[in-house]
Amino acid sequence: MLERIWRPDTYFYNGKHSYVHTITVPNKLLRISQDGDILYSMRLTIKAKCPMELQNFPMDRQSCPLILGSYAYTSQQLVYEWQEGSSVNFVPGMALSQFDLMGSPYRNLTFVRREGEFSVLQVSFNLQRNTGYFLIQVYVPCVLIVVLSWVSFWIHREATSDRVGLGITTVLTLSTISLDSRTDLPKVRYATALDWFLLMSFGYCIATLLEFAGVHYFTKVGSGELPLDDEEWENISDKEYENPFCTIATCGPQTIHPDSIVDETSRRSSTVCSVYNDSVTYNRRSYQPVTITSRPSTMERQTQTERRLPKWRQFLYCLAGDDEFRRQRQREAVRNCRKFGERVARHINSVSTIDRVARIVFPASFGLLNICYWVVYVTYQEEFKWQDPPIGSISK
């Protein structure tokens, strides 16, 4: 009897793959009432296209339509209408893993095709994406990695390999997270909200490396990056004895084994800033105390010299790569003398002013950008609205 009853040629405009369930028999229902009304139902599984805008991913909202109508009969021959009341129902307790169903509005409309006007039905499933997965897998690890890169600000500038290794590790880790997060996403031509956050985190890790490059280039003087030749060491040694402003520190008699004396050649080849002291040693045979004037030794390491120049002028000299200025700073690190009545400040394992500023600027700016990021993407949500024409974007 079912084959003898006329049925409309209903099809889904935005369907990609659909099939009728036939296990164990075709899942169809037919009811004929006493007044002639016919109830015809069948079980279908439909895979439909859903146009998505991913600029706000993963804080985005999507409206996925499902449009059905007749393929051959125009609106003058066949009209589709939703029943009054709740025409779209859901199974109680149904839930999606990545989305929350916000609503399912529906409407009747007429669609114009080349063959004429056709009556169609449209229902839109309004969805909002859950961000819990991305918070745990992407956002929190990225924030922790960026914070980890700031540990280098508390490491002394002499630990070059440690700071560079930490910076490169954080950059590579963020690169891996960025590639993994886009594995299941479509290749869109624009940047999503997740992409902007990853770029921001990646930029802070790169900035940490560049910050140490600036510390190493601008302020790390006298630790081996600019060696002095023999002639300059001789000039420094001569000026050390002739300069009336130089202060020579003395120490009490000490018993030093002769083998521990460092020769002049090794002292000159050393590029470590040294402290000039008077020391007492003993003859190898008679062990009689003989007072001598010390030469540069490698017992102490000093890497910071602050000339009495304005900070902006020092920055310009360093930015221009002035070798004469850098050599002058290294000479001052060796002389340990007074300039204009004020002693030049020196520290062992000192901390650069750039590092002190970065300890405040980097966390403050990163926190401010995060606040702006979440305020913009969480509070600014577009309202769900009908798209007219409804089939223009999904029929491409």
User: Which tens digit of pLDDT belongs to each residue from 131-142?
Assistant: 999 999 999 999
Q: Is the pLDDT of residue 66 over 90?
A: yes
Q: Dihedral angle at the C-alpha atoms of 238, 239, 241, 244, nearest 10 degrees?
A: 160
Q: Are 391 and 13 in contact (CB under 8 A)?
A: yes
The confidence score (pLDDT) of residue 299 equals 37
**CATH label, 132-226+313-395, candidates 2.40.170.20, 1.20.58.390, 3.40.50.2000, 1.10.3720.10:** 1.20.58.390
CATH classification code of 10-86+94-129: 2.70.170.10
Q: For residues 222 and 50, which has the higher predicted lDDT (pLDDT)?
A: 50
In this prediction, residues 145-170 reach a mean pLDDT of 92
Report field, pTM of the whole predicted structure over 0.85: no
Q: Are 130 and 95 in contact (CB under 8 A)?
A: no
CA nearest neighbour of 121 among 58, 169, 78? 78
Q: How far is CA 375 from CA 129, 370, 379, in A?
A: 17, 8, 6
Q: pLDDT tens digits, residue range 91-116? A: 888 888 889 999 999 999 988 888 89
% of the chain with per-residue pLDDT over 70: 68
Q: Are 33 and 41 in contact (CB under 8 A)?
A: no
Q: Is residue 367 within a helix (H) or strand (E), and if so which, with residue range? A: helix 353-379
Q: Where are the domains of the chain?
A: 10-86+94-129, 132-226+313-395
In this prediction, residues 295-312 reach a mean pLDDT of 49
Q: For residues 325 and 49, which has the higher predicted lDDT (pLDDT)?
A: 49
The confidence score (pLDDT) of residue 268 equals 42
**pLDDT bucket at 245, cuts 50 / 70 / 90:** very low
The confidence score (pLDDT) of residue 270 equals 38
Crossing angle for the helix pair 160-181 and 193-218, to the nearest 10 degrees: 170
Question: Given this chain, do its domains 10-86+94-129 and 132-226+313-395 carry the same CATH topology?
Answer: no
Q: What are phi and psi of 41, to 5 degrees?
A: -140, 150
CA nearest neighbour of 239 among 335, 326, 327, 330? 335
Maximum Cα interatomic distance, the chain, rounded to a whole number of Å: 134
CA gap 78, 69 in Å, rounded: 9
- Over the chain, what is the mean pLDDT? 76
CA nearest neighbour of 270 among 298, 240, 293? 298
In this prediction, residues 7-23 reach a mean pLDDT of 90
- Name the pairing type of β-strands 116-129 and 99-103: antiparallel
Give CB contacts under 8 A, 24+ apart, made by 52-55: 52/186, 54/185, 54/186, 54/188, 54/190, 54/192, 55/190, 55/192, 55/193
CB within 8 Å of 355: residues ≥ 6 apart = 153, 154, 157, 211, 215
